[in-house]
Chain A
Amino acid sequence: MTKVSVAKVDSAPTDELVVLKSVNKHFGALHVLQDIDLTIGRGEVVVVIGPSGSGKSTLCRTINRLETIDSGTITIDGKPLPQEGKELARLRADVGMVFQSFNLFAHKTVLENVMLGQVKVRKTDKKTAAEKARSLLDRVGVGTQADKYPAQLSGGQQQRVAIARALAMGPKVMLFDEPTSALDPEMINEVLEVMQQLAREGMTMVVVTHEMGFARSAANRVVFMADGRIVEQATPDQFFSNPRSDRAKDFLSKILHH
Protein backbone atom coordinates (compact mmCIF):
# COMPACT_ATOMS: atom_id res chain seq x y z
CA MET A 1 0.00 0.00 0.00
CA THR A 2 1.36 3.36 -0.90
CA LYS A 3 1.20 5.91 1.79
CA VAL A 4 0.57 9.26 0.28
CA SER A 5 1.97 11.98 2.39
CA VAL A 6 0.14 15.17 1.97
CA ALA A 7 1.30 18.56 2.93
CA LYS A 8 -1.42 20.30 4.82
CA VAL A 9 -4.11 20.84 2.28
CA ASP A 10 -6.21 23.17 4.24
CA SER A 11 -5.48 26.79 3.75
CA ALA A 12 -6.97 28.67 6.66
CA PRO A 13 -6.42 27.34 10.19
CA THR A 14 -2.84 26.83 11.23
CA ASP A 15 -3.46 26.56 14.94
CA GLU A 16 -3.07 22.84 15.69
CA LEU A 17 -5.71 21.49 18.05
CA VAL A 18 -5.44 17.73 17.74
CA VAL A 19 -2.17 16.12 16.72
CA LEU A 20 -1.65 12.39 16.29
CA LYS A 21 1.91 11.23 15.70
CA SER A 22 2.81 7.73 14.54
CA VAL A 23 -0.08 6.19 16.41
CA ASN A 24 -0.26 2.41 16.42
CA LYS A 25 -2.85 0.11 17.84
CA HIS A 26 -3.51 -3.62 17.70
CA PHE A 27 -6.62 -5.61 18.46
CA GLY A 28 -4.90 -8.92 19.09
CA ALA A 29 -3.28 -9.85 15.80
CA LEU A 30 -5.09 -7.11 13.89
CA HIS A 31 -2.97 -4.01 13.37
CA VAL A 32 -5.93 -1.67 13.36
CA LEU A 33 -4.05 1.64 13.33
CA GLN A 34 -0.74 1.76 11.51
CA ASP A 35 1.52 4.77 11.94
CA ILE A 36 -1.26 7.29 11.88
CA ASP A 37 -0.14 10.91 11.56
CA LEU A 38 -2.96 13.39 11.57
CA THR A 39 -3.21 17.04 12.49
CA ILE A 40 -6.49 18.80 12.97
CA GLY A 41 -6.47 22.57 13.06
CA ARG A 42 -8.70 24.72 15.21
CA GLY A 43 -12.01 25.31 13.45
CA GLU A 44 -11.34 22.63 10.90
CA VAL A 45 -13.91 20.03 9.87
CA VAL A 46 -12.24 16.75 9.01
CA VAL A 47 -14.31 13.94 7.61
CA VAL A 48 -12.87 10.44 7.87
CA ILE A 49 -14.15 7.95 5.35
CA GLY A 50 -13.19 4.49 4.28
CA PRO A 51 -14.41 0.93 4.05
CA SER A 52 -15.64 -0.99 7.07
CA GLY A 53 -12.85 -2.24 9.29
CA SER A 54 -10.43 0.39 8.04
CA GLY A 55 -9.90 1.68 11.59
CA LYS A 56 -11.72 5.00 11.24
CA SER A 57 -13.98 4.52 14.27
CA THR A 58 -11.03 3.33 16.31
CA LEU A 59 -9.08 6.39 15.23
CA CYS A 60 -11.93 8.61 16.36
CA ARG A 61 -12.17 6.85 19.72
CA THR A 62 -8.46 7.11 20.44
CA ILE A 63 -8.71 10.90 20.43
CA ASN A 64 -10.49 10.90 23.79
CA ARG A 65 -8.87 7.66 24.86
CA LEU A 66 -11.96 5.51 24.80
CA GLU A 67 -9.47 3.29 23.00
CA THR A 68 -5.93 3.19 24.29
CA ILE A 69 -3.04 3.21 21.83
CA ASP A 70 0.01 0.97 21.77
CA SER A 71 2.52 3.56 20.62
CA GLY A 72 2.73 7.10 19.33
CA THR A 73 1.44 10.32 20.83
CA ILE A 74 -1.80 12.21 20.78
CA THR A 75 -1.91 15.81 21.93
CA ILE A 76 -4.94 18.00 22.31
CA ASP A 77 -4.44 21.74 22.41
CA GLY A 78 -0.74 21.17 23.07
CA LYS A 79 -1.26 18.78 25.96
CA PRO A 80 -0.50 15.08 25.61
CA LEU A 81 -3.38 12.75 26.35
CA PRO A 82 -3.07 11.80 30.04
CA GLN A 83 -3.27 8.34 31.53
CA GLU A 84 -6.47 7.14 33.14
CA GLY A 85 -7.55 9.33 36.04
CA LYS A 86 -8.60 12.85 36.94
CA GLU A 87 -6.54 14.52 34.23
CA LEU A 88 -8.08 12.33 31.57
CA ALA A 89 -11.60 13.04 32.81
CA ARG A 90 -10.88 16.77 32.60
CA LEU A 91 -9.60 16.41 29.07
CA ARG A 92 -12.58 14.35 27.99
CA ALA A 93 -14.86 17.11 29.15
CA ASP A 94 -13.20 19.31 26.50
CA VAL A 95 -13.70 16.74 23.77
CA GLY A 96 -17.31 16.19 22.79
CA MET A 97 -18.24 12.77 21.51
CA VAL A 98 -21.28 11.63 19.57
CA PHE A 99 -21.78 7.89 19.16
CA GLN A 100 -23.36 5.78 16.49
CA SER A 101 -25.85 4.35 18.99
CA PHE A 102 -26.58 7.70 20.70
CA ASN A 103 -25.90 6.31 24.20
CA LEU A 104 -28.20 8.73 25.97
CA PHE A 105 -28.47 7.89 29.67
CA ALA A 106 -31.57 5.69 29.61
CA HIS A 107 -32.67 6.39 33.20
CA LYS A 108 -32.55 10.18 32.87
CA THR A 109 -34.77 12.59 31.03
CA VAL A 110 -33.53 14.43 27.98
CA LEU A 111 -33.00 17.58 30.05
CA GLU A 112 -31.12 15.66 32.75
CA ASN A 113 -28.95 14.08 30.08
CA VAL A 114 -27.82 17.50 28.92
CA MET A 115 -27.43 18.82 32.48
CA LEU A 116 -25.46 15.96 34.01
CA GLY A 117 -22.00 16.84 32.74
CA GLN A 118 -22.47 20.54 33.41
CA VAL A 119 -23.47 19.94 37.02
CA LYS A 120 -21.12 17.08 37.91
CA VAL A 121 -18.05 17.96 35.85
CA ARG A 122 -18.22 21.69 35.26
CA LYS A 123 -19.85 22.29 38.69
CA THR A 124 -22.38 24.65 37.14
CA ASP A 125 -25.36 25.32 39.42
CA LYS A 126 -28.52 23.47 38.45
CA LYS A 127 -30.49 26.49 37.37
CA THR A 128 -27.85 27.78 34.97
CA ALA A 129 -27.27 24.26 33.69
CA ALA A 130 -30.97 23.75 33.02
CA GLU A 131 -31.17 27.06 31.15
CA LYS A 132 -28.19 26.19 29.01
CA ALA A 133 -29.56 22.71 28.42
CA ARG A 134 -32.91 24.07 27.29
CA SER A 135 -31.34 26.58 24.93
CA LEU A 136 -29.12 23.86 23.42
CA LEU A 137 -32.10 21.56 23.03
CA ASP A 138 -33.94 24.38 21.27
CA ARG A 139 -30.95 24.92 19.06
CA VAL A 140 -30.94 21.28 17.90
CA GLY A 141 -34.70 21.35 17.55
CA VAL A 142 -35.82 19.05 20.36
CA GLY A 143 -36.71 21.68 22.97
CA THR A 144 -40.25 20.34 23.32
CA GLN A 145 -38.98 16.87 24.27
CA ALA A 146 -36.97 18.01 27.28
CA ASP A 147 -38.95 16.11 29.90
CA LYS A 148 -39.24 12.83 28.02
CA TYR A 149 -37.02 9.81 28.42
CA PRO A 150 -34.66 8.85 25.58
CA ALA A 151 -36.63 5.69 24.72
CA GLN A 152 -39.65 7.90 23.91
CA LEU A 153 -37.75 9.78 21.19
CA SER A 154 -37.01 8.84 17.59
CA GLY A 155 -33.45 8.00 16.66
CA GLY A 156 -32.91 11.33 14.97
CA GLN A 157 -34.17 13.18 18.02
CA GLN A 158 -32.01 11.08 20.32
CA GLN A 159 -28.93 11.79 18.26
CA ARG A 160 -29.64 15.52 18.33
CA VAL A 161 -29.99 15.33 22.12
CA ALA A 162 -26.64 13.53 22.18
CA ILE A 163 -25.13 16.42 20.22
CA ALA A 164 -26.64 18.89 22.68
CA ARG A 165 -25.25 16.85 25.58
CA ALA A 166 -21.76 17.05 24.09
CA LEU A 167 -22.10 20.75 23.31
CA ALA A 168 -23.20 21.49 26.87
CA MET A 169 -19.64 20.88 28.03
CA GLY A 170 -18.35 23.67 25.80
CA PRO A 171 -15.96 21.31 23.97
CA LYS A 172 -12.93 22.44 22.00
CA VAL A 173 -13.46 19.68 19.48
CA MET A 174 -16.36 17.40 18.63
CA LEU A 175 -15.89 13.78 17.58
CA PHE A 176 -18.66 12.12 15.60
CA ASP A 177 -18.39 8.35 15.33
CA GLU A 178 -20.75 7.40 12.48
CA PRO A 179 -23.51 9.58 13.89
CA THR A 180 -26.08 8.71 11.24
CA SER A 181 -25.32 5.04 10.64
CA ALA A 182 -27.97 3.77 13.07
CA LEU A 183 -30.67 6.10 11.82
CA ASP A 184 -33.64 5.48 9.57
CA PRO A 185 -33.05 7.24 6.25
CA GLU A 186 -35.64 9.95 6.85
CA MET A 187 -33.94 10.99 10.07
CA ILE A 188 -30.44 11.33 8.72
CA ASN A 189 -30.92 14.83 7.40
CA GLU A 190 -32.16 16.35 10.62
CA VAL A 191 -28.93 15.23 12.28
CA LEU A 192 -26.72 16.28 9.39
CA GLU A 193 -28.32 19.72 9.37
CA VAL A 194 -27.39 20.23 13.02
CA MET A 195 -23.85 19.15 12.18
CA GLN A 196 -23.71 21.48 9.16
CA GLN A 197 -24.79 24.34 11.38
CA LEU A 198 -22.06 23.49 13.90
CA ALA A 199 -19.49 23.38 11.14
CA ARG A 200 -20.58 26.81 9.89
CA GLU A 201 -20.26 28.19 13.39
CA GLY A 202 -16.60 27.21 13.40
CA MET A 203 -16.64 24.14 15.64
CA THR A 204 -13.63 21.88 15.20
CA MET A 205 -15.04 18.54 14.12
CA VAL A 206 -13.79 15.07 13.36
CA VAL A 207 -16.54 13.16 11.62
CA VAL A 208 -16.41 9.48 10.78
CA THR A 209 -19.21 8.94 8.34
CA HIS A 210 -20.53 7.27 5.22
CA GLU A 211 -22.45 10.41 4.25
CA MET A 212 -20.55 11.60 1.22
CA GLY A 213 -22.93 14.50 0.77
CA PHE A 214 -21.97 15.82 4.18
CA ALA A 215 -18.30 15.31 3.39
CA ARG A 216 -18.66 17.35 0.20
CA SER A 217 -20.59 20.18 1.70
CA ALA A 218 -19.18 20.60 5.20
CA ALA A 219 -15.67 19.21 5.27
CA ASN A 220 -12.49 21.25 4.98
CA ARG A 221 -10.61 18.04 4.46
CA VAL A 222 -11.37 14.43 3.70
CA VAL A 223 -9.21 11.73 5.23
CA PHE A 224 -9.47 8.40 3.49
CA MET A 225 -8.53 5.35 5.52
CA ALA A 226 -8.11 1.76 4.48
CA ASP A 227 -6.62 -1.20 6.33
CA GLY A 228 -5.50 0.83 9.30
CA ARG A 229 -3.67 3.51 7.34
CA ILE A 230 -4.43 6.98 6.16
CA VAL A 231 -4.22 6.45 2.44
CA GLU A 232 -5.12 9.88 1.21
CA GLN A 233 -6.02 13.34 2.49
CA ALA A 234 -7.44 16.07 0.31
CA THR A 235 -10.08 18.74 0.08
CA PRO A 236 -13.50 17.24 -0.68
CA ASP A 237 -13.43 18.62 -4.22
CA GLN A 238 -10.05 17.10 -4.99
CA PHE A 239 -10.87 13.84 -3.30
CA PHE A 240 -14.22 13.18 -4.90
CA SER A 241 -13.41 14.43 -8.38
CA ASN A 242 -9.81 13.35 -8.62
CA PRO A 243 -8.72 10.77 -6.06
CA ARG A 244 -5.04 9.92 -6.40
CA SER A 245 -4.73 6.51 -4.80
CA ASP A 246 -6.11 3.37 -6.41
CA ARG A 247 -7.65 2.33 -3.14
CA ALA A 248 -9.66 5.53 -2.96
CA LYS A 249 -10.67 5.29 -6.62
CA ASP A 250 -11.88 1.76 -6.01
CA PHE A 251 -13.78 2.80 -2.89
CA LEU A 252 -15.44 5.76 -4.58
CA SER A 253 -16.37 3.74 -7.64
CA LYS A 254 -18.24 1.36 -5.39
CA ILE A 255 -20.22 3.92 -3.48
CA LEU A 256 -20.88 6.72 -5.95
CA HIS A 257 -22.25 4.82 -8.90
CA HIS A 258 -25.87 4.56 -7.89
Chain B
Amino acid sequence: MFDFLEGYDLLGAFWVTVKLTLLSAVGSLIWGTVLAAMRVGPVPLMRGFGTAYVNIVRNIPLTVIILFASLGLNQTLNVTLGGGDDFDVINFRLAVLGLIVYTSAFVCEAIRSGINTVPVGQAEAARAIGLNFFQVLRLVVLPQAFRSVIGPLANVLIALTKNTTVAAAIGVAEAATLMKEMIENEAQLILISAVFAFGFVVLTLPVGLVLGWVSKKVAVKR
Protein backbone atom coordinates (compact mmCIF):
# COMPACT_ATOMS: atom_id res chain seq x y z
CA MET B 1 0.00 0.00 0.00
CA PHE B 2 2.83 2.37 0.82
CA ASP B 3 4.98 1.26 -2.11
CA PHE B 4 4.77 4.74 -3.58
CA LEU B 5 7.06 5.97 -0.84
CA GLU B 6 9.96 3.98 -2.20
CA GLY B 7 12.74 6.01 -3.70
CA TYR B 8 11.81 9.18 -1.85
CA ASP B 9 13.74 10.53 1.11
CA LEU B 10 10.76 11.32 3.29
CA LEU B 11 12.73 11.53 6.52
CA GLY B 12 15.36 13.72 4.88
CA ALA B 13 12.70 16.15 3.70
CA PHE B 14 11.10 16.35 7.13
CA TRP B 15 14.54 16.80 8.66
CA VAL B 16 14.96 19.92 6.52
CA THR B 17 11.56 21.07 7.80
CA VAL B 18 12.73 20.51 11.37
CA LYS B 19 15.95 22.42 10.74
CA LEU B 20 14.07 25.31 9.14
CA THR B 21 11.70 25.36 12.10
CA LEU B 22 14.33 25.22 14.82
CA LEU B 23 16.66 27.83 13.32
CA SER B 24 13.78 30.18 12.55
CA ALA B 25 12.30 29.63 16.00
CA VAL B 26 15.51 30.55 17.77
CA GLY B 27 16.09 33.52 15.48
CA SER B 28 12.56 34.88 15.78
CA LEU B 29 12.54 34.38 19.54
CA ILE B 30 15.64 36.56 19.84
CA TRP B 31 14.58 39.18 17.30
CA GLY B 32 10.99 39.14 18.56
CA THR B 33 12.20 39.77 22.12
CA VAL B 34 14.35 42.67 20.95
CA LEU B 35 11.35 44.10 19.10
CA ALA B 36 9.16 43.73 22.18
CA ALA B 37 11.82 45.50 24.26
CA MET B 38 11.80 48.32 21.72
CA ARG B 39 8.04 48.58 21.87
CA VAL B 40 7.95 48.97 25.65
CA GLY B 41 11.17 51.01 25.86
CA PRO B 42 11.54 54.68 26.76
CA VAL B 43 13.02 55.78 23.41
CA PRO B 44 10.28 57.09 21.06
CA LEU B 45 12.30 56.31 17.92
CA MET B 46 12.67 52.66 18.91
CA ARG B 47 9.04 52.41 19.93
CA GLY B 48 8.08 53.81 16.54
CA PHE B 49 10.35 51.37 14.74
CA GLY B 50 9.00 48.37 16.69
CA THR B 51 5.40 49.37 16.06
CA ALA B 52 5.98 50.03 12.37
CA TYR B 53 7.89 46.77 11.92
CA VAL B 54 5.19 44.66 13.50
CA ASN B 55 2.33 46.32 11.70
CA ILE B 56 3.99 46.13 8.31
CA VAL B 57 5.54 42.68 8.50
CA ARG B 58 2.62 40.77 9.97
CA ASN B 59 0.35 42.08 7.23
CA ILE B 60 2.53 40.90 4.35
CA PRO B 61 1.97 37.34 3.14
CA LEU B 62 4.86 35.06 4.07
CA THR B 63 5.14 33.95 0.44
CA VAL B 64 5.86 37.52 -0.59
CA ILE B 65 8.55 37.85 2.09
CA ILE B 66 10.21 34.58 1.13
CA LEU B 67 10.06 35.40 -2.58
CA PHE B 68 11.50 38.83 -1.87
CA ALA B 69 14.35 37.19 -0.01
CA SER B 70 15.12 35.11 -3.07
CA LEU B 71 14.31 37.46 -5.95
CA GLY B 72 15.11 40.74 -4.21
CA LEU B 73 17.93 40.00 -1.83
CA ASN B 74 19.64 37.19 -3.64
CA GLN B 75 19.06 37.62 -7.36
CA THR B 76 18.94 41.41 -7.45
CA LEU B 77 21.22 42.44 -4.59
CA ASN B 78 23.42 39.35 -4.68
CA VAL B 79 23.02 38.63 -0.97
CA THR B 80 24.24 35.06 -0.45
CA LEU B 81 24.34 34.96 3.37
CA GLY B 82 27.71 33.22 3.15
CA GLY B 83 26.32 30.41 1.05
CA GLY B 84 28.87 30.80 -1.78
CA ASP B 85 27.69 29.23 -5.05
CA ASP B 86 25.59 26.52 -3.45
CA PHE B 87 21.99 27.40 -4.24
CA ASP B 88 20.61 24.84 -1.83
CA VAL B 89 22.49 26.45 1.04
CA ILE B 90 21.66 29.98 -0.07
CA ASN B 91 17.96 29.27 -0.48
CA PHE B 92 17.82 27.46 2.84
CA ARG B 93 19.39 30.44 4.59
CA LEU B 94 17.18 32.93 2.76
CA ALA B 95 14.15 30.91 3.81
CA VAL B 96 15.29 30.98 7.44
CA LEU B 97 15.84 34.74 7.17
CA GLY B 98 12.36 35.25 5.70
CA LEU B 99 10.75 33.07 8.34
CA ILE B 100 12.54 34.96 11.12
CA VAL B 101 11.54 38.35 9.71
CA TYR B 102 7.92 37.21 9.53
CA THR B 103 7.57 35.12 12.69
CA SER B 104 9.33 37.63 14.94
CA ALA B 105 6.43 40.07 14.46
CA PHE B 106 4.13 37.50 16.05
CA VAL B 107 6.63 36.57 18.74
CA CYS B 108 6.99 40.27 19.57
CA GLU B 109 3.27 40.70 20.04
CA ALA B 110 2.99 37.55 22.16
CA ILE B 111 5.81 38.73 24.42
CA ARG B 112 4.43 42.23 24.60
CA SER B 113 1.09 40.88 25.77
CA GLY B 114 3.06 38.89 28.35
CA ILE B 115 4.83 42.03 29.51
CA ASN B 116 1.42 43.61 29.98
CA THR B 117 0.42 40.83 32.38
CA VAL B 118 3.30 41.71 34.72
CA PRO B 119 1.95 44.14 37.33
CA VAL B 120 3.45 47.60 36.96
CA GLY B 121 4.56 47.45 40.60
CA GLN B 122 7.11 44.78 39.69
CA ALA B 123 8.93 47.15 37.37
CA GLU B 124 8.56 50.02 39.85
CA ALA B 125 10.10 47.98 42.63
CA ALA B 126 12.92 46.96 40.32
CA ARG B 127 13.58 50.56 39.34
CA ALA B 128 13.36 51.61 42.98
CA ILE B 129 16.32 49.41 43.94
CA GLY B 130 18.41 51.03 41.22
CA LEU B 131 18.18 48.61 38.31
CA ASN B 132 18.44 50.27 34.90
CA PHE B 133 15.96 49.78 32.07
CA PHE B 134 17.65 46.70 30.61
CA GLN B 135 18.12 45.09 34.00
CA VAL B 136 14.49 45.71 34.90
CA LEU B 137 13.48 44.06 31.66
CA ARG B 138 15.95 41.18 31.76
CA LEU B 139 15.84 40.33 35.47
CA VAL B 140 12.30 41.09 36.49
CA VAL B 141 9.82 41.76 33.69
CA LEU B 142 10.79 39.36 30.88
CA PRO B 143 11.23 36.26 33.08
CA GLN B 144 7.67 36.74 34.31
CA ALA B 145 6.37 37.73 30.88
CA PHE B 146 7.84 34.63 29.20
CA ARG B 147 6.22 32.35 31.73
CA SER B 148 2.82 33.75 30.98
CA VAL B 149 3.16 33.53 27.18
CA ILE B 150 4.48 30.00 26.71
CA GLY B 151 1.02 28.97 25.51
CA PRO B 152 0.77 31.72 22.87
CA LEU B 153 4.39 31.12 21.87
CA ALA B 154 3.58 27.43 21.35
CA ASN B 155 0.89 28.56 18.91
CA VAL B 156 3.44 30.68 17.07
CA LEU B 157 5.85 27.75 16.97
CA ILE B 158 3.21 25.43 15.54
CA ALA B 159 2.28 28.02 12.93
CA LEU B 160 5.95 28.44 12.12
CA THR B 161 6.41 24.70 11.64
CA LYS B 162 3.65 24.68 9.06
CA ASN B 163 4.78 27.97 7.52
CA THR B 164 8.12 26.39 6.63
CA THR B 165 6.26 24.79 3.71
CA VAL B 166 6.29 28.20 2.06
CA ALA B 167 10.04 27.71 1.61
CA ALA B 168 9.04 25.35 -1.19
CA ALA B 169 8.35 28.49 -3.20
CA ILE B 170 12.08 29.08 -3.50
CA GLY B 171 13.01 25.45 -3.90
CA VAL B 172 14.18 24.48 -0.43
CA ALA B 173 14.04 20.71 -0.28
CA GLU B 174 11.70 20.43 2.69
CA ALA B 175 8.57 18.35 3.13
CA ALA B 176 6.22 20.36 0.92
CA THR B 177 8.70 20.35 -1.94
CA LEU B 178 8.92 16.59 -1.75
CA MET B 179 5.14 16.33 -1.55
CA LYS B 180 4.75 18.31 -4.77
CA GLU B 181 7.30 16.09 -6.46
CA MET B 182 5.53 12.93 -5.33
CA ILE B 183 2.13 14.24 -6.38
CA GLU B 184 3.49 14.81 -9.86
CA ASN B 185 5.03 11.34 -10.09
CA GLU B 186 2.65 9.06 -8.22
CA ALA B 187 -1.03 8.23 -8.40
CA GLN B 188 -1.97 7.99 -4.72
CA LEU B 189 -2.84 11.64 -4.19
CA ILE B 190 -4.93 11.18 -1.09
CA LEU B 191 -2.43 8.88 0.56
CA ILE B 192 0.43 11.24 -0.19
CA SER B 193 -1.44 14.16 1.36
CA ALA B 194 -2.32 12.01 4.34
CA VAL B 195 1.29 10.98 4.86
CA PHE B 196 2.48 14.58 4.89
CA ALA B 197 -0.40 15.74 7.03
CA PHE B 198 0.49 13.00 9.48
CA GLY B 199 4.13 14.03 9.39
CA PHE B 200 3.28 17.58 10.40
CA VAL B 201 0.94 16.46 13.14
CA VAL B 202 3.73 14.27 14.51
CA LEU B 203 5.97 17.32 14.58
CA THR B 204 3.53 19.81 16.06
CA LEU B 205 1.33 17.82 18.40
CA PRO B 206 4.08 17.13 20.95
CA VAL B 207 5.13 20.79 20.79
CA GLY B 208 1.70 21.87 21.93
CA LEU B 209 1.46 19.21 24.62
CA VAL B 210 4.95 19.69 26.04
CA LEU B 211 4.78 23.48 26.07
CA GLY B 212 1.31 23.36 27.60
CA TRP B 213 2.75 21.29 30.43
CA VAL B 214 5.78 23.57 30.80
CA SER B 215 3.50 26.60 30.87
CA LYS B 216 1.61 25.23 33.88
CA LYS B 217 4.83 24.15 35.55
CA VAL B 218 6.54 27.55 35.47
CA ALA B 219 3.51 29.79 35.97
CA VAL B 220 4.26 32.65 38.38
CA LYS B 221 2.11 32.50 41.49
CA ARG B 222 0.83 35.84 42.69
Interface centre among A64, A90, A105, A149, by most chain B C-beta atoms within 10 angstroms, is A105
A99 to B125, CA, bound (A): 8
A93 to B144, CA, bound (A): 23
Measured between beta carbons, the chain B residues less than 8 angstroms from A105 are 122, 125-126, 140
- A 155-182 binary contact with B (CB < 8 Å = 1; else 0): 0000000100110010000000000000
B131 touching A120, Cβ below 8 Å: yes
B44 to chain A, nearest CB (A): 13
A107 touching B147, Cβ below 8 Å: yes
Measured between beta carbons, the chain B residues less than 8 angstroms from A66 are 124, 127-128
B119-137 interface with A by 8 A CB criterion: 119, 121-122, 124-132, 135
B125 touching A103, Cβ below 8 Å: yes
- B 138-180 binary contact with A (CB < 8 Å = 1; else 0): 0110011001000000000000000000000000000000000
Given A92-B130, A106-B221, are A120 and B139 neighbors across the interface (CB < 8 Å)? yes
A166 to B125, CA, bound (A): 9
A110 touches B (CB below 8 Å) = no
A226 to B39, CA, bound (A): 38
The number of chain A residues with a CB under 8 A from chain B is 32
B84 touches A (CB below 8 Å) = no
Given A116-B139, A151-B221, A151-B222, are A103 and B122 neighbors across the interface (CB < 8 Å)? yes
Measured between beta carbons, the chain B residues less than 8 angstroms from A186 are none
A89 to B129, CA, bound (A): 8
A36 touches B (CB below 8 Å) = no
B42 touches A (CB below 8 Å) = yes
**CB-contact partner of A97 in B122, B128, B147, B221, under 8 A:** B128
A166 to B130, CA, bound (A): 10
A149 touching B121, Cβ below 8 Å: no
B132 touching A86, Cβ below 8 Å: yes
B220 touches A (CB below 8 Å) = yes
A89 to B222, CA, bound (A): 27
A107 to B127, CA, bound (A): 16
A220 to B218, CA, bound (A): 46
Measured between beta carbons, the chain B residues less than 8 angstroms from A85 are 132
A104 touches B (CB below 8 Å) = yes
A96 to B139, CA, bound (A): 19
Interface centre among B42, B130, B222, by most chain A C-beta atoms within 10 angstroms, is B130
Given A99-B121, A99-B125, A120-B139, are A107 and B132 neighbors across the interface (CB < 8 Å)? no
**CB-contact partner of B124 in A84, A86, A99, A151, under 8 A:** A99
Given A92-B127, A116-B129, A169-B130, are A106 and B139 neighbors across the interface (CB < 8 Å)? no
A120 touching B135, Cβ below 8 Å: yes
B residues neighboring A (CB under 8 Å): 42, 119, 121-122, 124-132, 135, 139-140, 143-144, 147, 220-222
Per CB-CB distance, the 7 closest pairs between chain A and chain B, nearest first, are: A93-B130, A117-B129, A103-B125, A103-B121, A151-B221, A97-B128, A121-B130
Beyond A89-B130, A169-B129, list 4 extra A-B contacts (CB 8 Å).
A95-B128, A106-B122, A120-B131, A152-B221
22 CB contacts below 8 A, A to B, read A64-B128, A84-B42, A89-B127, A91-B130, A92-B128, A92-B130, A93-B130, A94-B130, A97-B128, A101-B119, A103-B121, A103-B122, A103-B124, A104-B125, A105-B125, A105-B140, A107-B144, A120-B131, A120-B135, A151-B222, A162-B125, A165-B129
